Amino acid sequence: MPTRTAPPALLRRRPETEGVDSAGIAAFLAAVDRDLGGLHSFMLLRHGRVLVEGAWTPYAEALPHQLFSLTKSFASTAIGLAVTEGLLSVDTPVLSLFPDAAPATPGDHLRALRVRHLLSMSTGHHTDPTGAMTAAADGDWVRAFLAQPIEHVPGTYFVYNSGASHLLAEIVTRLSGQDLREYLRPRLFEPLGIAEPAWETSPRGVRIGGWGLSLRLEDIARFGQLYLQRGTWRGRQILPEAWVAEATAWQVDNGPRPEKDWEQGYGYQFWRCQHGAVRGDGAFGQFCVVLPEQEAVVAILAGLGNMQAVLDRVWEHLLPALGATPRAPVPAARRALREALAGLHVPRAEGGPTSALVPTLAGATFRFAPNPRHLAALTCRELGGDTCAFGLTDDTGSTHRLAAAHGRWLNSTTTLGGWRSSITPLDQRSAAVPVAGTYGWPAPDILQLKLCFPLTPFCPVWTLRFSGDRLVLQQRANVSFGPVDSPDLEGQQGGFIIIWNILQ
């Protein structure tokens, strides 16, 4: 197998050489830390050059990160390439592509459904059919999607629709005869220098078009730069300019409020933004923002619930910093920016390094009754020095290790897989994954354990409250598709009890 050469690095430049004010970048970093609790990583490109890049420890720019719905923009790009190759057009009837999965008597609206309606999320569904699609007992997502009622004439009504995005992936897979990742490898990933990406599959083995892709920060920036350059990359037109224009243009109305970046119109799996920008984005703050007027790209990975707040700070601090001509360097501003980048970290656990309870807890095991979190027991393996380690036994009898340090993030791996997608195959849910931990004792009987899974946006906080031979384990997620608080578990040495108490 031939050895792949490393892709040429993007050029790095000081912000002022490209007309960007370092003080404005530092103000953006300060604002997201102060107001939002920070990001996971951030990169700013202008004129194709990297002006600033940083990651909040324990995250790192070189690690891949879940993109969630930012995956949709890659699925759209695959359709654009397939259109270029003559495999279909945006006006191809969807039913013609899936004759084996069509309902016995399709309605008029389903017959009118075209590929462009999937691309623009104007399928005519009144509510998102994704849940019904993924709930299909036989795993046939295409058949389940096509079985959902379409209440509106396609093209006349927008509703966010990850199921439509997945059909785009199914279309490319059927027409090309290739796995979607394999299809994009020579056409997109290799030209851009994107290494082998992780990409989840549906129960029937098709890459998911609406979510499931993981990439590095710079991969996202390169993808945005490709669209900024109208489909050209290092002198080669790898995506037709006409497709870039069509995909990022206004295709359907999605709301009336001018101050909301989710109501500026929608393209082909790209959002229109304020200030003439366009973006792909994913849940919890995964962003690829392209600013054509400023010739800039902003790539962000995060774990935040309020995504509009992230864009608001881009417009407030970064946009005014993008000047028209080179600037004279300001040493104080450059120094402040360097210091800000050096100090980026996810907030660590609160409290001191030890407690008077430590000698009595060493080696103690607390057992739980059967519960939805599938935890059977927690063992305090190490509590001395400035590190701690716990063993967690699940309801299959498997034990998983979690470790943490005081005042810093301790990197390790764990097989504790509760963060994984519900559709992750069972045989993959116990695979070891990176995790970082930090701990503190905010009170003599309370241990706070904060975890980061750096390939994901998830950073749960565990609070362990000890009282004699009992332990109450509380978990709060930083972000979640459901409640951020899990039911409390109460464990006991030598026995078990359980209480249910959703934290408010």
Tell me if 185 is assigned to some domain: no
In whole angstroms, what is the distance from residue 427 CA to residue 48 CA? 42
H or E element that contains 112: helix 108-112
Q: Are residues 338 and 390 in the same domain?
A: no
Mean pLDDT calculated for residue range 401-430: 73
Tell me if 336 is assigned to some domain: yes
H or E element that contains 467: strand 461-467
pLDDT for the residue 187: 98
Q: Are residues 466 and 418 in the same domain?
A: yes
pLDDT at 290 over 60: yes
Q: Are residues 231 and 320 in the same domain?
A: yes
* pLDDT-wise least confident of 40-54, 313-327, 421-435, 475-489: 421-435
Residue 430 — pLDDT band, cuts 50, 70, 90? Answer: low
pLDDT at 336 over 70: yes
Average per-residue pLDDT for the chain = 93
Q: Are residues 274 and 396 in the same domain?
A: no
Radius of gyration of the chain (CA): 24
pLDDT at 123 over 60: yes
Tell me if 205 is assigned to some domain: no
Report which residue type is found at 433: V
Encoded tokens for 478: 């930083």
Q: Are residues 378 and 306 in the same domain?
A: no
What is the sign, positive or negative, of the torsion defined by CA atoms of 198, 7, 74, 102?
A: negative
Beta bridge pairs of residue 375: 394
Mean pLDDT calculated for residue range 489-494: 90
Mean pLDDT calculated for residue range 116-142: 98
Tell me if 191 is assigned to some domain: no
pLDDT at 422 over 70: no
Domain boundary among 309, 342, 375: 342
For the domain that residue 316 is a member of, what is the CATH number? 3.40.710.10
Let me know: does 41 contact 50? Beta carbons within 8 Å: no
Q: Are residues 399 and 486 in the same domain?
A: yes
Tell me if 100 is assigned to some domain: yes
Residue 1 — pLDDT band, cuts 50, 70, 90? Answer: very low
pLDDT for the residue 45: 98
Domain boundary among 311, 342, 373: 342
Q: Are residues 387 and 469 in the same domain?
A: yes
Q: Are residues 328 and 371 in the same domain?
A: no
Residue 151 — φ and ψ, nearest 5°? -80, -25
Tell me if 502 is assigned to some domain: no
Tell me if 376 is assigned to some domain: yes
In whole angstroms, what is the distance from residue 155 CA to residue 79 CA? 18
How many domains would you assign to the chain? 3
Q: Are residues 331 and 221 in the same domain?
A: yes
Residue 199 — φ and ψ, nearest 5°? -150, 115
Q: Are residues 50 and 157 in the same domain?
A: no
pLDDT for the residue 8: 77
3-state secondary structure 117-143: HHHCCCCCCCCCCHHHHHCCCCCCHHH
* pLDDT-wise least confident of 94-103, 394-403, 456-465: 394-403
Mean pLDDT calculated for residue range 238-260: 96
Residue 497 — pLDDT band, cuts 50, 70, 90? Answer: very low
Q: Specify the pTM.
A: 0.94
Mean pLDDT calculated for residue range 302-309: 97
pLDDT at 419 over 80: no
| Domain containing residue 481 | 358-497
In whole angstroms, what is the distance from residue 349 CA to residue 440 CA? 5
pLDDT at 504 over 50: no
Q: Are residues 148 and 220 in the same domain?
A: no
Domain boundary among 313, 342, 371: 342
Which pairing describes strands 470-476 and 489-492: parallel, antiparallel, or unpaired?
Answer: antiparallel
pLDDT at 273 over 90: yes
Q: Are residues 369 and 487 in the same domain?
A: yes
Tell me if 8 is assigned to some domain: no
